[in-house]
Chain A
Amino acid sequence: ETGVTQTPRHLVMGMTNKKSLKCEQHLGHNAMYWYKQSAKKPLELMFVYNFKEQTENNSVPSRFSPECPNSSHLFLHLHTLQPEDSALYLCASSQGLAGESYEQYFGPGTRLTVT
């Protein structure tokens, strides 16, 4: 148990559906992240929020829309996804962005399948 929870753990959706992934951290951290993990590929950073403000958007398609209402919650809204978007979506948090080690704590992930 890392202190970061994600729901749902598994999601199957059609290309025309709209769904949302939820992440919550109970660690009092200020930074939160969304990553995409595909088999045999490096983790891909999608979005970074620091003190609820988005600081990074790594050329992610607009069919992925993040929302960070407060420092403890992070959402990823999904619409009109493509089959290649099927992957494990990981949420992480850290105390801050810079300085010290500030290691990231990961949630268990949402296994997304787009049909």
Chain B
Amino acid sequence: GQNIDQPTEMTATEGAIVQINCTYQTSGFNGLFWYQQHAGEAPTFLSYNVLDGLEEKGRFSSFLSRSKGYSYLLLKELQMKDSASYLCAVRDSNYQLIWGAGTKLIIKP
């Protein structure tokens, strides 16, 4: 079967750095996405990786290793507004998105 694993919940301090991991086992691979979802709101797109390596976008970076079935989202200089759920999703060989259950990130002052 297809599976996406990510931690259920993480806590970090304002101003710090946090890394959210995602491991996947899917039927084929056509890209990995990270989305942010604030409570009661729609998911919004953060990043896309299809080749191995690090993609940097401001305070957020996403890393992919296809051989290890592994990705992480790195958030720097954490702000209170970063408190949200972070969803990892992999596009499989049929171009369907397979979603993880999300990681709830709690930022403390």
Contact = CB atoms under 8 A, between A and B. Distances in A.
Contacts of B44: 2, 106
Contacts of A109: 42
The 3 A-B residue pairs whose C-beta atoms are closest, nearest first, are: A106-B42, A101-B48, A103-B45
Contacts of A103: 33, 45, 48
A43 B42 contact: no
Interface of A: 2, 4, 40-43, 45, 48, 56, 90, 97-98, 101, 103-109
Contacts, number: 44
Interface stretch (B11-19, B65-73, B93-101): B93-101
- Chain B interface extent, by class: 20 to 34
Interface of B: 4, 8, 30-31, 33, 41-45, 48, 50, 87, 89, 95-102
B99 A42 contact: yes
A42 B4 contact: yes
Given A43-B87, A103-B33, A98 B45 contact: no
10 contacts: A40-B8, A41-B101, A42-B4, A43-B87, A48-B96, A90-B43, A101-B50, A103-B45, A108-B41, A109-B42
